[in-house]
Structure formats: C-alpha cells, structure tokens
Amino acid sequence: MEPIKRILGSRILVWAILLFLAIFPFLGFSPRWLHIGNTVFYYVMLSASWNLMMGFTGLFSFGHTALSAVGGYASALLVTHLGVPPIAGPFLGGLVAAFFSFVLGMICLRLRGFYLALVTWAFAEIIIGVVKVQYDLTGGTQGLRTVGLFWQGAGRIHYYYLGLILVFLITLSIHKLSKSDYGSYLRSIREDEMAAEVLGVNTVVWKILCFTYAGFWAGLAGAYYGHYIGVVDPSLGSLGEMSIVVLTVVVGGMGTVFGPVIGSFLVIVAGDLFRGKLAALSMVFFSLLMMLVVRFFRGGLMQFLGPSRK
C-alpha cells in the first residue's frame, strides 16, 4: 500500500491529473459530462471548505450550505439590481457569505459538538426561512433567476474552466495551510481546545478565521453554481444538500486535502448513474455507503490512496 501512497502523493501525478482535466472538454465526451464536471466542481468547493471546519478544526456546522445560498442570492441580487459586472458577482457573494459566517462564528465561539451543530442548523433555517418569505426580493420558493457570468452564447465549457481554476485555488490554499503552522493550530483545536489554549494558541481568533474563510468559499461556490444553472433557490441551503456535503467528505477522507475532491467526484458521478427507475435507490445506496465507511474505513478512500489524517 505504501508504494501506491507514494505514487499518489507525487507531484508528477498531480500535474498529470491537472493536464487531463485541462484537455477534458476536447476529448469528445458527451456535453452531459461537462455538466457533471461543473457540478463536481461546485461540490468540491463546498465540501473542501466544510472539511476545513470539521476535518481540520473539529467544528461541526450544519449551516454551511446556507452560506452557499447566501452567496448565490447575494451575487444574483448585486448583478441584477446594482449593475455589478457578472464575473465579479461570485466573489462579492463570497465576501457577503464570509461576513455572515464571521457573525455565526462569533455566536458559536464557546460551542462545540451537539450545541454547535444545533445553533448552526438554526442559523440555516433562519436564512432559508427569510429567503422563502421575502418573495418580492428573492422569488420565494420558486427561486431567483440569474444572468450568465459570461457573454451571451457562452457555453458550459467556460464555467468548466472557471470551476477548475476555483477548485485548484481552494485545494492549493488548503494544502499550503495544512503544511503550515497555521494548520497545526487548527488541528490542535480539533484534538483538544483547552490544551491548545494552554500551549498559547489563540483559539478564538483561529476559529473565527476558519469560519470566515470557509464561509467565503461556500458563498463563492453557491454563486458559481447559481449563475451556471441560471437560478438560485432555497434548495441550495437545504439539509439535503448538507447531507451530500457530509457524505462526500466522509467517503473521500475527512481531515485530508484531497478527500473532498475524490469524494465529490465519486458521489456526484454515482448519483448521475442512479437515474430513471434507480433514482429512488440512490439514497439507500449512499446511506449504506456512509454506514460502511464510518464503521470500517474512517479515513475514507484517502486511507488507501494517500497519507492518513494528521
């Protein structure tokens, strides 16, 4: 197993995968695969940012997908009503979501475990409730239509390369963070917050920074996906979406850099295969997969394919 881990950990393989992804749209696959790829990129950003909180810092947030909805709605409203250039909308939406996440982090400073999950779930319900009630502004349950990020006639391939760049950036940033002293601070909070404080780690600052940074990427992901599919609706922040995020992280490998990438690809592609008559069995399959991974392979696929969690 160790030779496999060394191969998968090599820079040559990483660059080979990036090269393959860069030329993928020109390999003659069905356009449906471009859509799947764009959807995978959305979940990678969402899952990787949540993994930064839960996997690296031990902060279980049920409100992460609500931040995706915040970013999506903020971007759509800024572009539609304030005339912000569409390509700038997702980044501004990410900043709005980061602000909301900062406030949520301030509220949850002294909370952990069940109580943190409960408060963040309540936060998500408030966000989705407000979105549904403010029909004139948000479109309510029908959603808010968005404009494209690119010029008229631009296709899926443009969103593909934008998504690929964003995924590269978030993965690179988390990789650099995991190898730095800052990553050690986050892991120390995960392992024992009181001991980390005794050792001089400012846990308050690092928890808030973690909330804020993860919130930015969640909002950016929601805005990217909302502009891509042409509508932002409350389902972006639903518990169903949150369950997919948790599944991708657990299956891929919680607390690892590439686990959310692998998990998102596996879950989304497998979900696409469960179409037609098999659609009703998808949640059965994924629930069984979650149970097996948690029971027997807590390191996820990265337990076999890469370095273990540190």
CA distance 112 to 241: 22
Residue 136 lies in a domain: yes
* Phi-psi domain of 113 (left: phi exceeds 0; alpha: psi -120 through 50; beta: other): left
Residue 310 lies in a domain: no
Two tokens at 181?
A: 């002293």
Q: What is the pLDDT of residue 166?
A: 95
Number of domains in the chain: 1
CATH number at residue 109: 1.10.3470
Residue 151 lies in a domain: yes
- Could you tell me the pTM of the whole model? 0.90
CA distance 219 to 213: 10
Residue 63 lies in a domain: yes
Residue-level pLDDT, tens digit, the chain, 310 residues: 444 444 455 566 667 778 888 888 888 777 889 999 999 999 999 999 999 999 999 899 998 999 999 999 999 999 988 889 999 999 999 999 999 999 999 988 877 778 888 999 999 999 999 999 988 888 888 889 998 888 776 778 999 999 999 999 999 999 999 889 898 999 998 888 888 888 888 888 999 999 999 999 999 999 999 999 999 999 888 888 898 999 999 988 888 888 899 899 988 888 887 766 566 677 777 778 888 887 777 777 777 665 545 4
Q: What is the pLDDT of residue 222?
A: 95
Residue 281 lies in a domain: yes
Closest to 227 in 3D by CA, of 6, 76, 32, 24:
76
Give residues with Cβ within 8 angstroms of 137, minimum separation 6: 77
Tell me the residue range of the domain where 94 lies. Answer: 2-305
- Would you say 50 and 249 are in contact if contact means Cβ atoms under 8 Å apart? yes
